[in-house]
Structure 1
Amino acid sequence: MSIEVAHTLTKNFKYSFPTCTNEEILFKLDVPVEIPYSGCTRELVQRVINMFHIPVYLEDELNEKLAEFVATETKNFHNDRDEKLINQLKNSELNVDGIVKNWEKMFKENVMEFAEQKGTSDEEVFAAAYHKLVHSPALETILQVENSYAKTVSSMLKNRDEDVQKMTERQTSEMEENMRLLNTTVTEEDINELATRHFEEQSLVCGRWGSQIDALCQTQRSQHRAWLMTTLDQYQTTAALSTPSNSPLDTFCPERSLSAPAPRLEESFTIHLGSQLKQTHNIRIVACDLLDLCRLDPDNPTEHMRRLQTSLGLYSTELSAVVLLSSAPPATAAPLKALQRAAAASPEHHFASLDLQLKDIAEKVKEPAEQRNSQRGDGRRARAALQPGDVYVTTHSNLGDVHVVFHLVADDDAVSGDISSRHPVIMGLRNILKAACANDITTISLPLLLRHDLTEECTVAWCSRRAELVLKCVKGFVLEAFGWGGARPATLQVAAPPNTSPQVFASLAALLPAIFRVSAPVKAKQPAAH
């Protein structure tokens, strides 16, 4: 049994005042008022005055009386209502579950009415569609379409380079001819004007080609996404696949090249990490340019398998990453410029372009980096956005073997000098490995010597000391990262510079069994025959 509690009730407001002719004769006013009263008492007073022809000199007194009446009756109403509810609760007469459900319903309706409507984003829908299709028979078709797009972009880049080269040769010849005639028929002002005109021509041509390439990539991106969604619908209903009419798949050669890749120095080990619960990992040392992991040649049919693995792992928990050294600011780094060329060789269908990512990163890190540098009292370096040991990350779907690129800022001291385990660049490696474990990156490649090439001052002893320091720190960082949870780096690749000699490479490879616990088969001796 439950007692119904009224939401409102009606009370009569009574007021009397003497008539103008005889003060002993009172005019009595009786007005019903709904309690609680949600309106304005002054407005109600005006309505009462007009309706009953009450003298205007009584307005202030009437308003005061009515406001007092409403306040008193509202207080009494709430007190009576609350007392009834308390008694109901004491006597277990309230349906608490019903009240909770009613509040929940009202809250949801209020949120749905006034809150911002958010659903699954287009990026999430596209990611789910792509992941489903690459793990279906449509994978081959997807790779062919993407390769045809990459060929179109590569052809336009080639035309751009040829156009710029021809213009540069023409301008160089023109400048040399004018320099030969200097102080005869040509003045210094003419040379300056010619140089200015050449610069403007270069800027105009580069801007025109850049605009055309951006427009092509944006068109391909939208066409590719529309085709993928249509293909998913067809595959789910009829299991039939179609190719877009604007994708020249006849340019894709399905035959595989029989030419073997160029030989390189490499060696692999299976290692165990951990004191009690040991984890098995693969560690590989290789002499190569880490940028080779990023470059793709759409005209080379052997690249098909690399694109296959990259596509399958794009929206998975087994991502691949590479660590590239950069300088501050990043726009001056040679590896970054090479990466930009590799990323521009094929359209990016899943993430923002590399240039847009770098621009966004530069804007976001500027303020916090300057605050940090100022707090450290770096003085003249306080304006620098990035310093040695800082890391910024870019994501990609159009590179060869990697999905994520960690850009580790390093200075000349870290590249060529003697450093310790507390150097900022080493600490940057620590942050990279922690981020990799926390973000499903199971394959990571990093520069073994913290440099991308070898020079004359890089002696065998220096290379061994640097490699030993990096490997020992990496081992400790990986063990530390296990405590944070997440994915474990199943494959760790350390890359020596590509110009490493076989002798130096052998000494570097010999460090791995000494630093890591290498898995080795147990040799059992057969008992002697009797």
Structure 2
Amino acid sequence: MFFSFMSVSSFFLTAFLFEAKHIYALGNAVKMRKNKGKTNTIEKEFVFEFKAGENHCVLKVPLQFPFNEHVSDLHGRIMLLHKIPCFVENDLKNRLVSFIERETLVDYDREAEAALQRLTNGEVDINKVTNSWAKAYSETTLEHACPEEPSWDEDFASVYHELIHSPASETLLNLEHSYFVSVSELISERDMELKKLQERQAVEMDKVMQELGKTLCDQDVNTVAAQHFDAQQVLENKWASELKQVTGIQKQEYQEWVMKLHRDLQNPNNSTINEEIKVQPGQLGEAGEAGARLFEEQRQLEESFTIHLGAQLKTMHNLRLMRSDVLDFCKHRRHSSSGVKLRRLQTALSLYSTSLCGLVLLVDNRVNSYSGIKRDFATVSRECTDFHFPRVDEQLDIIQQVVLYARAQHSSKQREQPEMPRNGGSEDKNKIIDRNSSNILPGEFYITRHSNLSEVHIVFHLCVDDNVRSGNITARDPAIMGLRNILKVCCTHDITTITIPLLLVHDMSEEMTIPWCLKRAELVFKCVKGFMMEMASWDGGISRTVQFLVPQSISEEMFYQLSNMLPQIFRVSSTLTLTSKR
């Protein structure tokens, strides 16, 4: 048996060496032809015979081999220079292609035979050739490639996902809440110090204004205001640096502790892993508990529906109409730790899963966190350390660089293209891009990832302009098309719950009358219904939850009118009761 095995192995080795010889010979021949100059070329004559009436014509063209030109170019030059009749054009091209291919193969065969002869004569080391060929094969074949080592983030994600679905989840949530409480207390100290500074500066400014026109002039007032602004900036930068340092230390400690806990759980003899982390009560009190209860009561106004959509294969979806502030889906309550942990548990369990939760946040065209709802959102996201993803400021910096790169690519392509007449909308769009290439356009959106928000993993920052406050937008409005693209991203990236501002605004204003609200809600309902029916072709028909959000300041009467409109548009499923008489 041993002799037979050795014979088979010798047979395969011989076949391997034989194949390597031919591959080496062919590769060497090709290499030699590539390295050849004009002095090593061979001239061959191409002969083409054809009849033109009673005349028998013969065309002879000398060609240099190896042939490095394009056959179509050579064919065109021959037709033009020799005034070849058009009725033999195709025949000439076919003969020319066949001649070049045949003579090229002859050259390859001759040079390959010469290379094999050198290999046979011992001019080339066969072991070196086979080793080089085996190395190249193993490096370019997937089954022989070394597996990529997982990164630290991937290891931590898998470990966290395993622990959060184990009895250790309570310990993880307690630790996260303890970190949250410490950061919240630090933020409270910051707010208190800023408030004291502003009060002191207000008193100083009042004294200066009283002396204005007497002993002080406008220049003195401006100097004091500049000093106050600088003092506020210094204090804010000091606290921002301290918060960044604290959250960085918390993130490092948390990740190291999670990895250590996972290692300890692998050791059944370790008895210290069951110690609970106690949450420091801090300033929890009855007032805080009352505030938390009031918050829950205000957010009780919601309606839920179940629908079935689809042309042939129906898919069940859940719809909710909710009255709440958009940031309530992101905020953690500083009080009522049990409620916090319940919401955090659901978010943590689905963090590394195929059931992510998304939120649409309506923003302006600037990618930053300095004004409006963007500033409020950034403040909320900083209240709790993100142990899995970069800080929101770091994500926005990366997004800003991507926007600049995309705009630069777009501008370069426009310069390369010839001038074409554009309609008015395109001209306005180009003017916006030219004015500030770091801004995004209405209907475009950017995405941030979070693990430290209350009920959200993904935030879609959708750019809208003042046009959404008018009552004449259509289904082709950039904001509506942005919602369609967001839903498409949800289908392709396992986001099964998405919260959408129903009226495309976060706050109510005077021009938003009852007819305005009803018209806007009807438009968004119908468009989202159409987009959801498209989902069947995007993801094959997966059940999803779509939450329509209206501002907290909307009246209950208006809320219930919108609630009555939803089942009429979506045709909510209802039970049918059958009775029989005997």
**TM-score between the two structures when normalised by the length of structure 1:** 0.77
Closer, same or farther: CA 201–309 of 1 in aligned 2, 3 Å:
same
Separation (CA, whole Å) in 1 of partners of 2:411 and 2:440: 9
SS in 2 for 1:284: strand
Q: Residue 141 in 1 paired to residue 171 in 2?
A: yes
Q: Which amino acid aligns with 1:306?
A: R
Q: Residue 361 in 1 paired to residue 418 in 2?
A: no
Separation (CA, whole Å) in 2 of partners of 1:222 and 1:482: 42
Separation (CA, whole Å) in 2 of partners of 1:368 and 1:445: 28
Counterpart of 1:315? 352
Name which one, 1 or 2, has greater alpha-carbon Rg. Answer: 1
Closer, same or farther: CA 6–369 of 1 in aligned 2, 3 Å:
closer
Separation (CA, whole Å) in 2 of partners of 1:243 and 1:346: 25
Alpha-carbon shift at residue 340 of structure 1 (Å): 0.7
Q: Which moved more, 1:181-190 or 1:231-240?
A: 181-190
Q: Which amino acid aligns with 1:341?
A: T
Q: Which amino acid aligns with 1:353?
A: R
Match for residue 514 of structure 2 among 448, 457, 460: 460
SS in 1 for 2:548: strand
Q: Matches of residues 472-487 of structure 1 in structure 2 within 5 Å?
A: 472-485=526-539
SS in 2 for 1:207: helix
Q: Which moved more, 1:463-472 or 1:429-438?
A: 463-472
Counterpart of 2:580? 526
Counterpart of 1:493? 547
Q: Which amino acid aligns with 1:311?
A: A
* Structure 1: gaps (5+ residues): 9-73, 85-98
Q: Which moved more, 1:374-383 or 1:414-423?
A: 374-383
Q: Is the CA contact (8 Å cut-off) linking 1:294 and 1:342 kept in structure 2?
A: yes
Counterpart of 2:58? none
SS in 1 for 2:361: strand
Counterpart of 1:338? 376
Counterpart of 2:77? none
Alpha-carbon shift at residue 410 of structure 1 (Å): 0.6
Closer, same or farther: CA 116–201 of 1 in aligned 2, 3 Å:
farther
Separation (CA, whole Å) in 2 of partners of 1:492 and 1:5: 65
Alpha-carbon shift at residue 487 of structure 1 (Å): 7.5
SS in 2 for 1:262: helix
Counterpart of 2:341? 304
Closer, same or farther: CA 360–5 of 1 in aligned 2, 3 Å:
closer
Closer, same or farther: CA 338–177 of 1 in aligned 2, 3 Å:
same
Q: Is the CA contact (8 Å cut-off) linking 1:323 and 1:446 kept in structure 2?
A: yes
Task: State how many pairs are aligned.
Answer: 445
Query: For 1:370-406, what per-residue CA distance to the aligned partner results, in whole angstroms no more than 9, with x for missing partners?
Result: 6548954335312342111011111100111000001
Closer, same or farther: CA 149–187 of 1 in aligned 2, 3 Å:
same
SS in 2 for 1:449: coil
Coordinate RMSD, CA, aligned:
3.3
SS in 2 for 1:518: coil
Alpha-carbon shift at residue 475 of structure 1 (Å): 1.0
Q: Residue 227 in 1 paired to residue 263 in 2?
A: no
SS in 1 for 2:455: coil
Q: Residue 288 in 1 paired to residue 291 in 2?
A: no
SS in 1 for 2:297: coil
Counterpart of 1:78? 115
Q: Is the CA contact (8 Å cut-off) linking 1:273 and 1:517 kept in structure 2?
A: no
Alpha-carbon shift at residue 457 of structure 1 (Å): 1.8
Q: Residue 428 in 1 paired to residue 464 in 2?
A: no
Separation (CA, whole Å) in 2 of partners of 1:104 and 1:451: 64
Q: Residue 152 in 1 paired to residue 182 in 2?
A: yes
Q: Which moved more, 1:388-397 or 1:519-528?
A: 519-528
Separation (CA, whole Å) in 1 of partners of 2:19 and 2:357: 66
Separation (CA, whole Å) in 2 of partners of 1:422 and 1:428: 10
Q: Residue 509 in 1 paired to residue 548 in 2?
A: no
Separation (CA, whole Å) in 2 of partners of 1:518 and 1:248: 47
**TM-score between the two structures when normalised by the length of structure 2:** 0.70
Q: Which amino acid aligns with 1:334?
A: G
Q: Matches of residues 74-153 of structure 1 in structure 2 within 5 Å?
A: 78-80=115-117, 103=133, 106-108=136-138, 118-153=148-183
Q: Which moved more, 1:329-338 or 1:280-289?
A: 329-338
Q: Is the CA contact (8 Å cut-off) linking 2:507 and 2:551 kept in structure 1?
A: yes
Match for residue 220 of structure 2 among 155, 165, 190: 190
Q: Is the CA contact (8 Å cut-off) linking 2:251 and 2:385 kept in structure 1?
A: yes
Identity of aligned residues (%): 38
Query: For 1:104-144, what per-residue CA distance to the aligned partner results, in whole angstroms no more than 9, with x for missing partners?
Result: 555436999xx999521111011001000000000000000
Separation (CA, whole Å) in 2 of partners of 1:500 and 1:262: 16
Q: Which amino acid aligns with 1:297?
A: R
Q: Residue 415 in 1 paired to residue 469 in 2?
A: yes
